[in-house]
């Protein structure tokens, strides 16, 4: 089968010209970050950007925060265990408060039903 699609296996914007076709890239600066596990990440930022590069960057390998000081990387964040709704209620209320609320709710329910 001679013929067929001449651009098969190509993608939009791909071409032999490269930068000449697309224009020059903006001047960039690479900032290096290190995480607590020693991984290195070097994202590049535009030189003339109004915003300065961030102090920390998420490590693309392990997800820990990475800083610009290789000797003192930021500590890993503490993961709080999942709490149930009941755990949050118990933080706010004491057992005596809970008993008083239960008595109040039961007396209101009995008053609605007409039973004392």
Which pLDDT tens digit goes with each residue over 74-101?
998 888 889 999 889 889 989 899 899 9
Strands of 43-115, DSSP E: 44-46, 56-58, 65-67
pLDDT given for residue 109 in this prediction? 93
Q: Provide the β-strand partners of residue 46.
A: 28
pLDDT digits (tens, 9 = 90+) for 96-113: 998 999 999 999 999 999
72 DSSP 8-state letter: S
Q: Judge whether residue 17 has pLDDT over 60.
A: no
User: Would you say residue 20 has pLDDT above 80?
Assistant: no
Distance (Å, whole) CA 96 – CA 102:
10
CATH superfamily of 25-67: RNA polymerase-binding protein A (2.20.28.270)
Q: What ranges do the domains of the chain cover?
A: 25-67, 80-116
pLDDT per residue as tens digits for the range 34-52: 999 999 999 999 998 888 8
Residue 41 burial class via C-beta count within 10 angstroms: exposed 0-12, middle 13-18, buried 19 and up: middle
Phi, psi of 76 (to 5 degrees): -70, 140
Q: Reduced to 3 states, what is the DSSP secondary structure of residue 112?
A: helix
Nearest CA to 69 among 82, 80, 56, 81? 56
Closest to 64 (Cα-Cα) out of 45, 37, 42 = 37
- Of the pLDDT bands very low, low, confident and very high (cuts 50, 70, 90), residue 54 is very high
Q: Largest Cα–Cα distance of the chain, in whole Å?
A: 94
């Amino acid at each position: 089968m001679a013929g067929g699609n001449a651009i098969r296996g190509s993608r939009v914007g791909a071409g032999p010209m490269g930068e000449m076709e697309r224009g020059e890239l903006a001047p960039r600066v690479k900032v290096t970050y290190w995480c607590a596990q020693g991984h290195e990440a070097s994202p590049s930022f535009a030189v003339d950007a109004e915003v300065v590069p961030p102090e920390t960057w998420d490590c693309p390998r392990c997800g820990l925060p990475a800083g610009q000081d290789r000797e003192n990387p930021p500590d890993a964040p503490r993961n709080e265990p999942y709490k149930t709704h009941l755990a949050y209620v118990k933080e706010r209320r004491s057992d005596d408060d809970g008993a008083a609320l239960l008595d109040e709710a039961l007396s209101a329910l009995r008053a609605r039903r007409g039973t004392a």
